[in-house]
Amino acid sequence: MAPMPQPNESIILVVDDDESVRLMLKSGLTLSGFNCFAAESPGEALKILQAYPVDVVVTDIKMPEMSGIELGRIVKTQYEADVIVMTGYVGDFNYEDIVQQGASDFIQKPLRIAEFIARLKRVLSERNSKQERLKALADLKLNLDKFQRAMEGIVQAISVAVEMRDPYTAGHQQRVAELACTVAKEMSLSDDDVYGLRMAAVIHDLGKITVPAGILAKPGRLSDLEYELIKNHVRAGYDILKQIEFPWPLAEIILQHHERLDGSGYPQGLKEKDILLQARILAVADVFETIASHRPYRPSLGLQRALDELQDNSGALYDSTVVSTLIRLVSENRFPEFR
């Protein structure tokens, strides 16, 4: 067997039970600067493939042990080599069929070495281009993953900042995010839309950093002025985020999560389908969590009170599909923290 080739040099494996063809191709490839192995059978070829990083397998079709088509299938499923098929029985095979089975090219015998080398170089060029594209895609994915992790870190930092400002609702945003995303998945939103909804939900009360702490923690009834300041938190959150180019409409979801289907919500009085679906989901999750959870300035109003609020106003204030989905999930005990 030939010595191990040097790195970064193309390695070609010729497989043919005709010795004259093997010798002719090996000689021509070697003279053209390629590292070349030759095998007289598919079995010998597979041993070479296990030992060396072959770039291209050039195989005859009709051989005693197995056909070149069968060998090609093994090569494409178990190794990272391209396959060029050659045969003298062109009438028995269709070019398109051969290529569809994984071959990179199909060459007729008798071979003209100059044409063969030219077509081999084309296969190698396409192979190199594909590898460069795959590397570029891998690099892009790595950069996107880094960006996503950085973005998640920023969003989580914002969430913590909001809860430090308003400790009375600590954990509220995270719980709402879990509720909203579980509902969204059940409604068959895409993974990307669910991810964007989570990013919006964990900071949906961002604008409360502009509201005086005394108002946020006030146990009694709010005055009209205090309530207007509270209502302004959605606009404030929107204004903070609107200049940041997120891949999802985070600012708009946050702006709309207190809108209601009949137009009675705020800050824009939007109705029905004018409200983003993600915002409609977030609205239901937010109302449910707020009513069902304990607050330091008041006890939980109870799970049933939260369900009644949603059921009584389904289709009027809240999206009926979202409401029915959340109620079903609660009945299935998908949210054991709310009992």
Asked whether residue 297 is domain-assigned, the answer is: yes
Are 127 and 189 in a shared domain?
Answer: no
Which range in 122-136, 152-166, 318-332 is most confidently predicted, on average pLDDT? 318-332
Strand partners, 82: 56
pLDDT of residue 5: 47
pLDDT of residue 257: 96
Asked whether residue 4 is domain-assigned, the answer is: no
Domains held by the chain: number = 2
Are 232 and 319 in a shared domain?
Answer: yes
pLDDT of residue 45: 92
How is the beta sheet containing 35-39 ordered, strand by strand? 35-39, 11-15, 56-60, 82-87, 105-108
Residue 296 has pLDDT above 60, yes or no: no
How deeply is 223 buried, as exposed, middle or buried, from its count of CB atoms within 10 A (0-12, 13-18, 19+)?
exposed
Asked whether residue 260 is domain-assigned, the answer is: yes
Asked whether residue 75 is domain-assigned, the answer is: yes
Average pLDDT over residues 61-67: 85
Please state, as a whole number, how many other Cβ atoms lie within 10 Å of the Cβ of residue 273.
Answer: 10
Please state, as a whole number, how many other Cβ atoms lie within 10 Å of the Cβ of residue 205.
Answer: 25
Concatenated DSSP letters of 218-279 = --SPPPHHHHHHHHTHHHHHHHHHTTS--SS-HHHHHHHTT--TBS-SSSS--BGGGS-HHH
**pLDDT tier at 144 (50, 70, 90 boundaries)?**
low
Average pLDDT over residues 55-80: 88
pLDDT of residue 309: 95
Counting residues of the chain whose pLDDT is more than 90, the rounded percentage is: 40
pLDDT of residue 4: 53
> Which comes out higher in pLDDT, residue 338 or 263?
263
The range of the structural domain enclosing residue 92 comes to: 11-136
Residue 266 has pLDDT above 50, yes or no: yes
Structure-block tokens of residue 41: 């059978």
Residue 8 has pLDDT above 60, yes or no: no
pLDDT of residue 181: 96
Residue 208 has pLDDT above 50, yes or no: yes
Which range in 25-29, 124-128, 156-160, 180-184 is most confidently predicted, on average pLDDT? 180-184
Are 40 and 113 in a shared domain?
Answer: yes
Asked whether residue 28 is domain-assigned, the answer is: yes
Contact 303, 309 (CB under 8 A): no
pLDDT of residue 91: 59
Q: What is the CATH number of the domain that holds 28?
A: 3.40.50.2300
Asked whether residue 157 is domain-assigned, the answer is: no
Asked whether residue 337 is domain-assigned, the answer is: no
Residue 23 has pLDDT above 80, yes or no: yes
Contact 16, 41 (CB under 8 A): no
Residue 1 has pLDDT above 60, yes or no: no
Residue 192 has pLDDT above 90, yes or no: yes
Residue 319 has pLDDT above 70, yes or no: yes
Asked whether residue 143 is domain-assigned, the answer is: no
Are 172 and 320 in a shared domain?
Answer: yes
Q: Give long-range contacts, CB 8 A cutoff, 24+ apart: 298-303.
A: 298/219, 303/330, 303/338, 303/339
**pLDDT tier at 327 (50, 70, 90 boundaries)?**
very high
pLDDT of residue 90: 56
Are 122 and 173 in a shared domain?
Answer: no
Average pLDDT over residues 234-245: 89
Are 227 and 118 in a shared domain?
Answer: no
Final residue in a domain of this structure, among 93, 114, 136:
136
Q: Tens digits of per-residue pLDDT, 85-141?
A: 887 765 566 656 666 667 778 888 888 888 888 888 888 888 888 888 878 877 777
Q: Give long-range contacts, CB 8 A cutoff, 24+ apart: 306-309.
A: 306/338
Tokens 């990013």 sit at which residue? 199
Q: 60-64, 178-182, 195-199 — which is least confidently predicted?
A: 60-64
Residue in 261, 200, 262 with CA at minimum distance from that of residue 234: 200
Are 60 and 175 in a shared domain?
Answer: no
Q: What is the CATH number of the domain that holds 268?
A: 1.10.3210.10
Average pLDDT over residues 203-223: 80
